[in-house]
Amino acid sequence: MENHLLSIVTFLPVFGAVIIALIPKEKLDIIRWGAAAITGLQLILAIWILYIFDFSSSEVQLQEHFAWIPAFNIEYFMGIDGLSAPMILLTALLSFLAVFTSWNIEKAQKGYFALFLLLDAGMMGVFSSLDFFLFYIFWEVMLLPMYFLIGIWGGPQREYAAIKFFLYTLFGSVLLLLGMLALYFISEPHTFNMLILAEHSSQFGNALLLGMNAGKVIFILLFIGFAIKVPIFPFHTWLPLAHVEAPTAISVILAGVLLKMGTYGFLRISFPVLKDATLWFALPLAILGLINVIYGAMAALAQRDLKKMVAYSSVSHMGFVLLGMAALTPAGMNGAVFQMFNHGTISAMLFMLVGVVYDRAHHRDIEGFGGIAKVVPIYAGVTAMAFFAGLGLPGFSGFISEALCFIGAFPVFTWITIFATVGIVLNAAYFLWAYQRIFMGELNSKYENLEEINNRELFALIPLAVITFFLGVYPTPMLNLMSSTLNHLVEAVKTAGMVAGL
């Protein structure tokens, strides 16, 4: 059955942005509630999509086809499977909650919410498009609002952070474009359709590009494009800056959704389309994952700025995703995608909490607090929960996904996995140490009158906390959602490797 749910979910925010642009800027409440209504509606639609989604099938569902530029065989092709469905839910959820985190934006609110909605549309588009060209357009369209959101509403170094983010990601995008065009011209018949490209996977392993194996060259091109987004060491240097300078809600989106696009790109395009090259690159990918885990955690340990610490913790957590997917085992793959979702919710919580304290104290220096748990017990409690979730304590969703990543990776990359477990200890170290310095000990007299977290902020945090806790105790629904697609993907890559004699 053909319906247009995905298009509606994707373009609803564009419609919202236009509406908001038409509201006079003095009507602040209408603007905010308008944005909340649009993203709320989007969230309801996303949940409905999951409701009608057939969990047992690895097929692409809710497909929409429309011949867009027939001359180049470019299609408007939307559809979701078990890989994109969790991401759609995550995007809708975080967009909705981030509107509430943006409530106190001080200047040019109208422009802010309009751009925010455009960003939302771009993200939805990336996760629901199955034509590479369409995917690329959405991928790029996202950059513009992000550039303005960081550059206008960010912190003191916002202009530098914005252009650095833009230059880095555009650099990645042009390599992506090159890889995309190479895929298009090698595939016979020429197509951008990801599903057909995946079926013709063997063509790329046999073709030559620049005198080398085309599959490998294209894999490297796409790899750099996606790696910048994840970000994988050594392409991560834009991240701490952008995360720290961005306003809270945008940090939430950056960490919660944008980073996932990199790993999503691997699983959506690189893995299924370039199966031989994937097997060839699995070990380097696992090693890079290990570096991310250890390096991110070490860097987080060294930070005095709380937001920077959380930013580096993202680098570390994305390392688990890389390790899990590089293993190419069902457990690792499911763990990786589950970790993508969990990191989305947990890091969103962490950034929101950093935002809460920054709004009140106007600084984020870990050393500059001390003992504030006595003044703001509720805030301290929620933070404790988020930190525990972040360090992967059993009972929270992060534990399950990290454990799955390790279980999946251990038989394949035994030593790498053993070293990666050190990351867990380091993760615990910086979270606990930071918690201790901020909330425990002598109360810093400056903060005797620190204001407690308010209801609006709690409203944004509680759904995430509930999800984190629920999936930590009962992860089955989420794993069911994605497992048939992911197991199918693992199988396909493995079979291709068997055929090629790898």
Partner 1 sequence: MNLNQIMTDLSYFIPEMMLTGILLLVILFDLFQKADTSIRSGYVALGGLILVTIALLGQDVSTSVGIFSNMLAVDPFGNFLKILVTVGTILVMWMSFNSNELKNRRVGEYYTLLLTLVLGMYFLVSATHLLSIYISLEMVSIMSYLLSGYLKEQMRSNEASIKYVVFGAFSSGILLYGFSLLYGLTGSADIFEIQAALSAGTVSPALMMIILVMILVGFGYKIAAVPFHFWTPDVYEGAPAPITAFLSVAPKAAGFAIIIRFFNVALSSAGNPNMEAWAALSNMDWQAVMGILAILSMTVGNVIALQQSNIKRMLAYSSIAHAGYMLLGVVVADQTGIAAVLYYAAVYMLMNLGAFFVAIHIKNEFDTEEIEDYKALGYKAPVLGVIMAIFMFSLTGLPPTGGFVAKFYIFRALIEYGDMYFWLAMIGLINGVVSLYYYMRVVKAMYFGKIELPDTVHHAPVNITILLSVLAIPLLFAWMLGDPLSTFAQNAVQFFIK
| Interacting residues with partner 1 (CB under 8 A) | 68-72, 107-108, 136-137, 140-141, 143-144, 147-148, 151-152, 158-159, 162-163, 166-167, 170-171, 174-175, 177-178, 181-182, 185, 208-211
For the bound state, the minimum distance from the C-beta of residue 311 to partner 1, rounded and expressed in Å, comes to 22
> Across-strand partners of 74?
69
For the bound state, the minimum distance from the C-beta of residue 186 to partner 1, rounded and expressed in Å, comes to 10
For the bound state, the minimum distance from the C-beta of residue 221 to partner 1, rounded and expressed in Å, comes to 9
CA distances from 224 to 17, 158, 493 (A): 32, 25, 21
For the bound state, the minimum distance from the C-beta of residue 145 to partner 1, rounded and expressed in Å, comes to 12
Is the CB of 216 or the CB of 494 nearer to partner 1? Answer: 216
Q: Torsion-angle region of residue 396: left (phi > 0), alpha (psi -120 to 50) or beta?
A: beta
For the bound state, the minimum distance from the C-beta of residue 315 to partner 1, rounded and expressed in Å, comes to 23
- C-alpha span between 167 and 227 (Å, rounded): 14
From first CA to last CA, the distance across the chain in angstroms is 40
* CA 20 to mean position of chain CA atoms: 26
- C-alpha span between 251 and 482 (Å, rounded): 26
Structure tokens at 176: 């992506």
Instruction: Write the CB contacts of 39 (distance below 8 Å, at least 6 apart in sequence).
Output: 13, 16, 92, 95, 96, 99, 117, 120
For the bound state, the minimum distance from the C-beta of residue 78 to partner 1, rounded and expressed in Å, comes to 16
Is the CB of 93 or the CB of 220 nearer to partner 1? Answer: 220
Is the CB of 208 or the CB of 466 nearer to partner 1? Answer: 208
Is the CB of 108 or the CB of 287 nearer to partner 1? Answer: 108
- C-alpha span between 29 and 174 (Å, rounded): 40
For the bound state, the minimum distance from the C-beta of residue 365 to partner 1, rounded and expressed in Å, comes to 24
Structure tokens at 257: 């959704």
Cis peptide before 145 (omega within 30 of 0): no
For the bound state, the minimum distance from the C-beta of residue 151 to partner 1, rounded and expressed in Å, comes to 5
> Is residue 343 a contact partner of residue 261, using CB atoms and an 8 Å limit?
no
For the bound state, the minimum distance from the C-beta of residue 408 to partner 1, rounded and expressed in Å, comes to 35
Read off φ and ψ for residue 61, nearest 5 degrees.
-115, 170
For the bound state, the minimum distance from the C-beta of residue 243 to partner 1, rounded and expressed in Å, comes to 18
Q: How many CB atoms lie within 10 A of CB 21?
A: 15
Is the CB of 144 or the CB of 440 nearer to partner 1? Answer: 144
For the bound state, the minimum distance from the C-beta of residue 187 to partner 1, rounded and expressed in Å, comes to 12
Is the CB of 145 or the CB of 398 nearer to partner 1? Answer: 145
Beta strands of 57-135 (E only): which ranges?
61-69, 74-80
Is the CB of 1 or the CB of 210 nearer to partner 1? Answer: 210
For the bound state, the minimum distance from the C-beta of residue 235 to partner 1, rounded and expressed in Å, comes to 14
Is the CB of 15 or the CB of 72 nearer to partner 1? Answer: 72
DSSP secondary structure, 399-429, as one string: HHHHHHHHHHHTTTSHHHHHHHHHHHHHHHH
Is the CB of 208 or the CB of 378 nearer to partner 1? Answer: 208
Q: Is 100 helix (H, G, I), strand (E, B) or coil?
A: helix
Q: Which of 333, 267, 256 has the alpha carbon at shortest distance from 90?
A: 256
Instruction: Note the residue count of the chain.
Output: 502
Is the CB of 105 or the CB of 373 nearer to partner 1? Answer: 105
Is the CB of 184 or the CB of 358 nearer to partner 1? Answer: 184
Is the CB of 122 or the CB of 289 nearer to partner 1? Answer: 122
Structural element, H or E, at residue 68: strand 61-69
Q: Is 63 helix (H, G, I), strand (E, B) or coil?
A: strand
Q: Which of 51, 84, 121, 92 has the alpha carbon at shortest distance from 195?
A: 84
CA distances from 326 to 236, 279, 281, 317 (A): 19, 8, 8, 15
CA distances from 391 to 314, 339, 373, 442 (A): 11, 13, 20, 25
Is the CB of 13 or the CB of 344 nearer to partner 1? Answer: 13
For the bound state, the minimum distance from the C-beta of residue 170 to partner 1, rounded and expressed in Å, comes to 5
Q: At what angle do helices 158-186 and 214-229 cross, to 10 degrees?
A: 160
Angle at 114 between CA 108 and CA 118, to 5 degrees: 140
